[in-house]
Chains A and B, each alone.
Chain A
Amino acid sequence: MSSESEVRSRYLALALDARKVIDALILFVDREQRTDDLDQSLQEVIDSLRVREEDIFSPLRNRLAFSEYYEQVRTVGESDRAAIAGKLETVKANQATLEKQKQDAFDAIKLLSAIESRALYYYRPQP
């Protein structure tokens, strides 16, 4: 049922999915800690962002809010998708220098924060 509250709830889910990755990335940038589930969290987001470019009908689209619904897809623009996925790949691969990884993680935090903020804006009840 795509009632107004359902749509709002989807935006909240998008904000929460973004937050989960932001939390892990903040720890990485600020304390150089890689949490146990960092790689998995990054991979899930990368998959859900990348799948758009590959197969519109892929079941992967249903994993996270980033690709779950039309409204959410609209929130995350095509250029943002590519940018975030690329930067998250750098962190996950753990091959670049630490400074490069931290810079990419920092950039990804800023992009994901913007998405979280936008999603919260769409979620928020208006008085």
Chain B
Amino acid sequence: MPNQVQLGVETLKKDAAALFLFVDSVCQFCIDSDSPAYLKPSEDFFKYIRDLGDATKAYLNIFSEKAPKDLRLYQDYRQKLETIRSCWFEFHQFLKPAIDADTLSMPYPLVEALTKRLNQIKGLENTTFVLFHLDEVNYLQVRVSEIRRTANRLASIIPDSDPFPADLGMIGIPYSQSSALYLNCLIAHEVGHFVFQRFQQKQKILPEVERCLKVSLASQARTTVEMLDWSRDRLLSWAEELFCDLFAIFLVGPCYALAYVELFGLTTILNPDPAISSGYSLTPESTIFSRSHPADLFRLKQHVALLQKGDGWWKKVDTIKSHCVDVLRAAASVSDTGFVFFTDEQPHAYAGATLQGFFALAPIVQNVTSDVTRGLDSGLTEYEKFGDLIESHLERAVVPSTVFDGHYHWYPDTVALLNASMKFALESLEKLMNSVKDQKTLLAGHRSRWLNRVEFLTSKALEDHHLLVKEKGSVSVGGSFKRADISAAEQAGH
């Protein structure tokens, strides 16, 4: 071709410059100022991206100089720019959502409370989380594993760049839900994804996946290596989701399961038709496994199994008068044969046999989750001690940071606050509304206003807790924090 530009250092220089500009434009959004305010994990994340950007740009500066002299390798070398560019496409999609999630736009009291609870687990003492906003109404963590995977691999091909901070997790929440509390309990599931990856639970579960599949697929004729790959991926994916659900219950208690019922509208399965003695009729969608997730009701069934197996949470949940709890009871009664997995990727019988393998795996996932959370107090004792007192505060629209048991003032912890508050919202919100003039419990608008109020009061208590337990003179008694004995101090002063 007569007019074709000769390829070499000059063309590489131009292509590298174009990419340099793109990386630079992404990095300039990693603001380094006091306004808006961010928590330290967000600042650490922005700094990491800035540093990675600097390393990338420094490398691009010398990219053309390092080009191979053998022109047969030009194209292979040039292609590296496209791989680097793709990595920055990947980072690009996370930055804006993280920038939007400043302290005024995220549920930071809850996140801090969950983080402090998580830090009680051995090996996670230094873990922190960056929050970012999602357009979709969902909670996501796994994309953080994506950014970590991408960043670490990019660091391996860019000189002088660091791997992604190991203790930094990232969680996406719906941008509109910064002030919600109950729905944000689903963040605990996303924390579970971080833990699953941090502790390399996949490697731990993999041998069990193999064992379960060997049994469940034994009768399948002509199973290829590719089909086995596919089955293994399905079980690992379902197992991770189940792990995260169970981990969330260990972290925040049964309010996670109740929040799940609400977010996914699962009260739809309840059916008052007198002809239906069970009180529910399964919607097909509630029993279908997707390629990546177990069916909703299977997940709830596992939640209930864990709560029943533990130290008594289920007895507490079972007394809550709410149709959300009816959904949990219904889920627990669904037999495994009621769940299905439709796919056009494999023959129907083969997909069914893969699903059978997961049914055998599920109890093992419960055990794996228990192992990880060993040493983490379930929070039930504190809930039993202070649950009623917390509810009585909420009934009077008072922040339940400090409750009085007739003898001492106590500072209830995260799990007690969340679960007592959710119980109150589910079965006693009317008590609060009835004490306020002109409030109609049947009006969704009125109800929603007071629900929001209860969430706010509880969030404030979560925030206060971490300050109060550090108060001079406050002491831990049997795992609960007691306020300093002010009257004794005053008497001593006189």
Contact = CB atoms under 8 A, between A and B. Distances in A.
A9 to B, nearest CB: 4
A100 interface: no
A12 B76 contact: no
Contacts of B90: 9, 12
B307 to A, nearest CB: 24
Contacts of A110: 76
Contacts of A59: 203, 206-207
Interface string B286-305: 00000111000000000000
B55 to A, nearest CB: 15
Contacts of B140: 1, 3
A29 B83 contact: no
Interface string A83-127: 000000000000000000000001001100100110010011100
A80 B413 CA distance: 57
Interface string B436-462: 000000000000000000000000000
Contact count band on A: 35 or more
B144 to A, nearest CB: 11
A17 interface: yes
A56 B233 contact: no
A52 interface: yes
Given A16-B150, A124-B86, A2 B237 contact: yes
A79 B237 CA distance: 28
A117 to B, nearest CB: 6
Contacts of B291: 2
Contacts of A106: 72-73
A85 B14 CA distance: 35
Contact of B68 (A3, A5, A30): A30
A114 B256 CA distance: 46
Interface string A24-38: 001001110000000
Nearest to A41: B156
A105 to B, nearest CB: 10
B463 interface: no
Interface stretch (B221-229, B323-331, B395-403, B480-488): B221-229
B70 interface: yes
Nearest to B292: A2
B79 interface: yes
B79 A117 contact: yes
Contacts of B122: none
Nearest to B89: A125
A22 B81 CA distance: 13
22 contacts: A2-B233, A3-B292, A13-B149, A16-B83, A16-B87, A16-B153, A16-B157, A17-B153, A19-B79, A23-B157, A29-B73, A30-B69, A52-B225, A57-B206, A57-B228, A59-B207, A62-B202, A69-B229, A70-B229, A70-B230, A106-B72, A116-B79
Interface of B: 68-70, 72-73, 75-77, 79-80, 82-83, 86-87, 89-90, 93, 140, 142-143, 146, 149-150, 153-154, 156-157, 193, 202-203, 206-207, 210, 214, 225-226, 228-230, 232-233, 237, 240-241, 291-293
Interface of A: 1-3, 5-6, 9, 12-13, 15-17, 19-20, 22-23, 26, 29-31, 52, 56-57, 59, 62, 69-70, 73-74, 106, 109-110, 113, 116-117, 120, 123-125
